[in-house]
Amino acid sequence: MTTSSLSPFFTPQGVAVIGASADPSKLGYRLAHNLVDCGYQGAIYFVNPKGGSLLGRQMVRTVAEIPDPVDLAVLLIPAPIVPQTLRECGERGIRAVIISSGGFKETGAEGAALEVECLGIARRYGMRLIGPNCVGVIDTHLPLDTSFLPPPGALAGDMTFVSHSGVICDVAIDWARSLGFGVSRLISLGNQADVTETDVLAPVAADPYTRVITLYLEGVGDGPRFVVEASRASRQKPIVAIKLGRFAGGQRAAASHTGAMVGQDHAFDAAFRRAGVMRANTSEELYDWSRALAWCPLPVGRQVGILTNAGGAGVIAADAVEAIGLHLTDLQDSTKAAMRSVLPAAASVRNPVDMLGSATPEQYAFCLQAMQADPGVDSILVIIPPPPVSTSEAIAEAIIPLIQSANGAYGSSAPGKFAKPVVLALLGGNLVSRAARLFRATHIPDYPFPESAVSALAVLARRAEYLAQPERVAEVLPGLNTLAARKAFEHSGENWISDALTAYGIPIPGVELARSADEASQIAARLGFPVVLKIASPDILHKSDVGGVLLNRTDVESVRLGYEQVVANARLARPQAKISGVHIQRMIPSGQEVILGMVRDAQFGPLVMFGSGGVEVEGLKDVTFELAPLNRVEAEAMLDRTWAGRKLRGFRNIPPADRAAVIDVLMRLAQLAVDFPHLAEIEINPLRVLREGQGAFAVDVRASYKVGIDHRA
């Protein structure tokens, strides 16, 4: 399906409301009224089998009677008659239908079957469906309103709001209106029988009136496609998303450390990061960030200047700046000297600048202009509590022209000389309400607390950094022996996963399975001392927990005795476990230990994990996930997000380790997961990382097929 097939939803030549009603108490009346009242300039038709008139228009009795032009139908009729009505729309040549009616899969199995039937009909006629069980589509600039939401409607503005929840659409419109923040488009998707959040990304990104895209998601239907489409759209317009159900049963049973730690939420974090989507943690953040992204220029860095007349509020803001990863800038001496020339001697001109409670509108304006001109300031937070001498609206009137002049005309692609984002923290309620209205009328975002204003500045910095990055480039890894890896999987021998990893260039110490103490001694002598002994059992996942690991065996006799010991320990701890023998492995020199893993997410495919390894992995929870495959930049970022990765650079008495080797192993593991979809899970714990230039070795590896075959190396 092409993007052009969605155009009738946004720019229809004619709209038919099927289920329109002359009864003001019915939703069919509200829908018809909204369509007429919004000022839609195309053809409008009302369909009701009873006939009659509505809002000065004659209603037709059947779909077949609808005259041309009509390319969009909105159905608000009982669910059981929707399928037949869809057939009639198909015969009439209507190729876009919004099913606002409820009573489908949200009600159970019978409704789900009805929804499947509707989708089948739509596909036979080449129709696209939005819904069912949705609010509809609004475009405030065309204008078009196919919703049944109560008045007043949305203000024309900058934000496209895409939602899986119908109720939230009503809330979003009311919230935006209360803050003077308009909506360009609103798309309620409902059950998404056909059109999904992924489908609408391209058309809304291309909309000239949309400056920011917000997504209210319960999930995504096709994870890989979402990442592709969102990546394209986010290069055009900023995308902010909130994902519902962060803690709802996304984790599966803990078959390993990797399986225990990954959940649906980690997958969405990784997917949003890959696609350039900024994930909001709360609904409040979603709206706060959207205003800043729609109304502010982007900063060139993370250096923040704070201007206030209240020292305590400045300290709160300064703490928030540092906590969120921004930085308080050191103002230039010339900037501080200029401020001293107009402020009382007791005022502080160090950042945050405290002008004292007596600050006048003129002092606010002068100091803001000085801060705007300071090349060390990338973004500015102005804090305005109710002033004891002047009024907050007088301060607003004094500084609004400066912000507008520096940033250029609203919506302009040519900002002024000192363009940098300025956001306001208006502290209080009624005493700052007039100032709030002035700022909102001129598209300058205001927030009730310093922390929320700082959060908005942080998202602007993130957006600027994302756009400064080159578009993602895939990397081709040398030395991948796909044929050898495939043979290892097909033969499924005792060392199948070791052979597969070796084929992909992931270093593994020599390892062999011994089925007796004598055989263990012979293998150890052949591999070379010292060696490690590890119990071999598909039923014992964490061997050290049961005394199933012995280190640094340096001679034949210690290997012989060690074999008996680890087998006895395992049988005592897990009497029902199947024991295949003992793995004998060459001892690797000491080094830093990290964990690498791969697990498949149902929506997004293979996820790669990196973090602190060894026995403390679940206790520390110092891990991060990323979608496979990886390039070098993404692998490097994974390391930087964790203490384990940062520690590889060296810390106090810990010498630097071979980070480059870890990055190489991460990339190769990710590619293996992509190339062999039947692999359900892989875990390397630990990957022992030696000193710089000496490499890294997969000391202990676990893997399983999708069908449940499980082996260890």
Tell me: the pLDDT tens digits for 70-89?
Answer: 999 999 999 999 999 999 99
- For 3-291, CATH number out of 3.40.50.2300, 3.40.50.261, 3.60.20.30, 3.40.50.620 equals 3.40.50.261
Q: Which residues contact 491 (CB under 8 A, 6 or more apart)?
A: none
Residues of the chain within CATH 3.30.1490.20 domain(s) are 510-586
Q: 143: cis peptide before it, omega within 30°?
A: yes
- pLDDT (0 to 100) of residue 244: 82
**The domain over range 297-468 is classified in CATH as 3.40.50.300:** no
pLDDT band of 69, cuts 50, 70, 90: very high
Contact 663, 475 (CB under 8 A): no
Q: What is the pLDDT of residue 3?
A: 63
Q: How far apart are CA 633 and CA 457, in angstroms?
A: 25
Does domain 510-586 bear CATH number 3.30.1490.20?
A: yes
H/E run at residue 625: strand 623-627
pLDDT of residue 2: 57
Burial of 470 (0-12, 13-18, 19+ CB in 10 A): exposed
CA distance 11 to 593: 58
Token output for 97: 């239908």
Please identify which residue in the block is written with the tokens 């190489």: 664
Over residues 331-350, mean pLDDT: 97
Residues 6 or more apart whose CB falls under 8 angstroms from that of 439 comprise: 396, 400, 424, 426, 445, 446
Whole-number Å distance between alpha carbons of 286 and 290: 6
In order, the DSSP letters of 306-324 are EEES-HHHHHHHHHHHHHT
The stretch 427-448 carries a mean pLDDT of 95
Q: Around Cβ 593, how many Cβ atoms within 10 Å? A: 21
| Arithmetic mean of pLDDT over the chain | 91
Region 84-105: mean pLDDT is: 96
Query: 435: Cβ–Cβ under 8 A, 6 or more apart, which residues?
Result: 384, 391, 392, 393, 395, 396, 426, 446
Distance (Å, whole) CA 710 – CA 113: 38
Spatial distance between the Cα atoms of 562 and 521, rounded to a whole number of angstroms: 10
| Res 261: pLDDT | 44
Q: Measured between alpha carbons, how far is 632 from 12 in angstroms, rounded to an integer? A: 46
Instruction: Tell me where in the chain the CATH 3.40.50.261 domain(s) lie.
Output: 3-291, 297-468
Q: What is d(CA 310, CA 317) in angstroms, rounded to the nearest whole number?
A: 11
Query: Over 70: is that where the pLDDT of 681 sits?
Result: yes
What is the Rg, in whole angstroms, of the alpha carbon atoms belonging to the chain?
31
Residue 240: partners with Cβ closer than 8 Å, 6 or more residues away: 212, 213, 214, 215, 277, 278, 279, 280, 286, 289, 290, 293, 459
**Mean pLDDT in residue range 541-557:** 90
- Min mean pLDDT across 304-318, 483-497, 670-684, 685-699 is at 483-497
Residues carrying CATH 3.30.470.20, the chain: 592-712
Give dist(CA 687, CA 256) in Å, integer: 15
Which tokens belong to 30?
């509200």
> What pLDDT does residue 259 have?
44
Statement: 592-712 belongs to CATH 3.30.470.20: yes
How many Å apart are CA 404 and CA 219, to the nearest integer? 39
The pLDDT value recorded for residue 413 is 46
Is pLDDT at 382 greater than 80 in this prediction?
Answer: yes
What is residue 405's predicted lDDT score, i.e. its pLDDT? Answer: 86
pLDDT digits (tens, 9 = 90+) for 589-640: 889 999 999 999 988 999 999 999 876 666 678 999 999 999 999 999 999 9
Distance of alpha carbon 522 from alpha carbon 44, whole angstroms: 88
Helix, strand counts (H, E) of the chain: 24, 31
- The yes-or-no verdict on residue 250 having pLDDT over 70 is no
Give pTM, 2 decimals.
0.89
Q: pLDDT higher for 419 or 183?
A: 183
pLDDT, average across residues 207-219: 95
* Cα gap 77→371, rounded to integer Å: 59
Q: What is the mean pLDDT of residues 351-377?
A: 96
Q: What is the pLDDT of residue 112?
A: 95
Cis peptide before 530 (omega within 30 of 0): yes
Confidence of residue 156 (pLDDT cuts 50, 70, 90): very high
Output 18 or 171, whichever has higher pLDDT. 18
Backbone torsions φ then ψ of 604, nearest 5 degrees: -115, -5
pLDDT number for residue 713: 46
